[in-house]
Amino acid sequence: MPYAQLNGLNIFFEQQGHGDCVLLMLPGSLGSTRIEFSQQFDGFDPDKFTLVSWDAPGFGNSRPPERDYINCYNRDAKLLVQLMEQYIGVDTFNLLGFSDGGRTAMTIASQYPKMVKKLILVGATSFNSPKEKRIFELCRNVDGWSNERRKMYETVYGDDLQRIWAKWVDVNNRQYEFIGPNLPEITCDTLLLYGENDNIAPIDPHAGHLKRNVKNARVHIFTQTSHYCHQEKADEFNQIVHKFLLPPARKHWIYPTSYVAETETVIG
């Protein structure tokens, strides 16, 4: 397994493909590269795309040490810039952040705007509203998760899963806003993707909030999907991401049914 030595940390990452379109994909909380993005690694043409993903410090195969949440998004942003420059050999790339990884993605796009060509945020939030805090508490005990999802994470964390997840819940219950004041600093074309039934990053208020505060942002909603729209509707998800990053050679193309409120559905 490939590891990068970044600021004294042993960080697991994966790289696949040799295409000119470089896409860095950031997993969510507890996420690991293949747990999170197996259907993207399998679905994108390696002749067109170079896919890169990592296990964030303290998650997945990037342990020990355990995750340090103090200033973690700024720290992770700096480590990822270092990873892309020193290990992947690029200084510009496209960026996809899922859930908790979306916060790191927004941090990179706001602090290093010349490096990010296009930004894709999947089930992302820049603050914690009372809605999702209630959900965090309801799912604090991993015994209440579906058997499939719990076993998937137990393959990575074993008996530590409950303790590590509960710590994440505690941290997020104490925090409200993460990078809100920096959202206007994101200037690249941005695609906001949400599941219609997402209760971890509910459309109201998060889709509208990011659409209003991020320049050049568009929204697409996947019908009848949860927080994991990139897994539940992987083919549709991959097609939309592909078209956003490599648009067809014509003046306009139109998304499938999209979020109407405050949203453009045409990309030109």
Catalytic residue numbers, as ranges:
99, 198, 227
Q: Residues for the chain: how many in total?
A: 268
SS3 117: strand
Q: Of 80, 64, 72, 69, nearest to 6 (Cα)?
A: 80
Concatenating the DSSP letter of every residue in 61-93 gives TS-SSPP--TTHHHHHHHHHHHHIIIII--S-E
User: Taking a C-beta distance cutoff of 8 angstroms, is the pair 19, 49 a contact?
Assistant: yes
Q: Of 221, 239, 218, 226, nearest to 45 (Cα)?
A: 239
Which residues have CB under 8 Å from 163's CB, separation 6+?
none
Q: Within a 10 A sphere around the Cβ of 85, how many other Cβ atoms? A: 13
Q: Within a 10 A sphere around the Cβ of 43, how many other Cβ atoms? A: 18
User: Which residues on adjacent β-strands are paired with residue 9?
Assistant: 6
